[in-house]
Amino acid sequence: MAEPGTFEFLLDQTNQNSKEIGVIYKQEIMEMPIPQFKEFMGRMVNVKRRVRYDHIIYQPVNILQNHFQSAFRNGRDQSDYYATDKTEAGKYAKNEWYTNMSRGGAFQKSDSVIIHAIEAPVTFTGGRPTTVSAGIITDPTATFVGANYDPCLLQHAWGKNFRLEFMMGDDSKIKGRLDDFPMLSGGQTAALGATAGGVSQNGHFSTNHLTRPRVIEGDEDFRILVTPLSPVGLDLTNYGRQYAQEIRMHTVEVVQNRP
């Protein structure tokens, strides 16, 4: 098993009989451009490839600049707050629907983790769900689409109104709008149907705002901060439902002493 801060890889991938292993250090990984790392990733051994996720929940109100919130700060079986209400009334319990991070939203002390992509999928549908509880759609039955409600316009405004920052401690390492971190697997946009149809989603093929991988050693302090940009707010009142903004990190992880 690799030492913390190092990663193992096959020295000769072309020879199927060769099992000789090399070791590469964290700094060497972080100096690779993303296309080079993607190629190298296929040679890495004794690692797990994962998609880590967390959610930030917004109520249907006018979303102001003080409604910022950080993802990857609280894990499963912990409580968190709506971005739009940080009082006890805005507190909710997190489970695996919200995040697949462990307690504290951090990695374990013995882990070494490479982050090679970040996604912030923005999806609004023409039909609003009947019931949403703490961001979770519990009754997906579509309700009436208001005459002034356009999911494509809302998705356009949402993607441009929020700044996403990958933070290490208090240092901002990566920054951009949500539109700069779209779904990597493609997206979909459709016209409105008869009463409650249509979907608008930000998705682009092979787009990655990261130019080089980031490496987290153990329980290093990191988070993804999402901050509204508009000084007059983005009014979600007519949407009429809570909205759960998902944040994803694509990782390669060396997990020490655990299955």
Task: Look at residue 189 and tell me whether its pLDDT is greater than 70.
Answer: no
Q: Give the pLDDT score at 152.
A: 85
Give residue-wise pLDDT tens across range 155-169: 999 999 999 999 998
Rounded to 10 degrees, what is the CA torsion of 31, 35, 40, 41? 100
Task: Look at residue 202 and tell me whether its pLDDT is greater than 70.
Answer: no
Task: Look at residue 82 and tell me whether its pLDDT is greater than 90.
Answer: yes
pLDDT band with cut points at 50, 70 and 90 for residue 19 = confident
Q: What whole-number percentage of the chain has pLDDT above 90?
A: 58
Contact, 198 vs 153, CB < 8 A?
no
Q: Give the pLDDT score at 259.
A: 42
Task: Look at residue 9 and tell me whether its pLDDT is greater than 70.
Answer: yes
Task: Look at residue 197 and tell me whether its pLDDT is greater than 60.
Answer: no
Task: Look at residue 185 and tell me whether its pLDDT is greater than 90.
Answer: no
Q: What whole-number percentage of the chain has pLDDT above 70?
A: 86
Give residue-wise pLDDT tens across range 227-237: 999 999 999 98
Q: Which position has the higher pLDDT, 147 or 37?
A: 37
Range scoring the smallest mean pLDDT among 52-56, 66-70, 79-83, 209-213: 209-213
pLDDT band with cut points at 50, 70 and 90 for residue 206 = very low
pLDDT band with cut points at 50, 70 and 90 for residue 198 = low
Instruction: Report the 10 Å Cβ neighbour count for 182.
Output: 22
Largest CA distance in the chain: 65
- Tell me the average pLDDT of the chain: 86
Give residue-wise pLDDT tens across range 117-140: 999 999 888 788 889 999 999 999
